[in-house]
Amino acid sequence: VPIDSWLRNQLKPLAEDLLFASDLNEFGISKNELENCWQKHQNSTANNQYKIWVVMMLQLWRQRYM
């Protein structure tokens, strides 16, 4: 599954909405670290697809169940 590519293309708008819509400090996720992780992935200097995907799924879960 080409998650890394999807996050740079088709899923980019959704990912940005989910990643930066609310504060994730309660889960130990720093906004600065998340932004850094996202930028490195977008610039192709790091493949952070799994880290980003997990945070996206957390946010979708929060939207549905919290």
- Kindly report, residue by residue over 1-54, the tens digit of the pLDDT: 999 999 999 999 999 999 998 888 888 999 999 999 999 999 999 999 999 999
- pTM for the full predicted model: 0.91
Look at residue 47 and give its three-state secondary structure. Answer: coil
Residue 4 tokens read as 């890394």
Q: Which residue has the tokens 């996206």?
A: 56
Q: Which tens digit of pLDDT belongs to each residue from 46-57?
A: 999 999 999 999
**Whole-angstrom distance, CA of residue 21 vs CA of residue 1:** 25
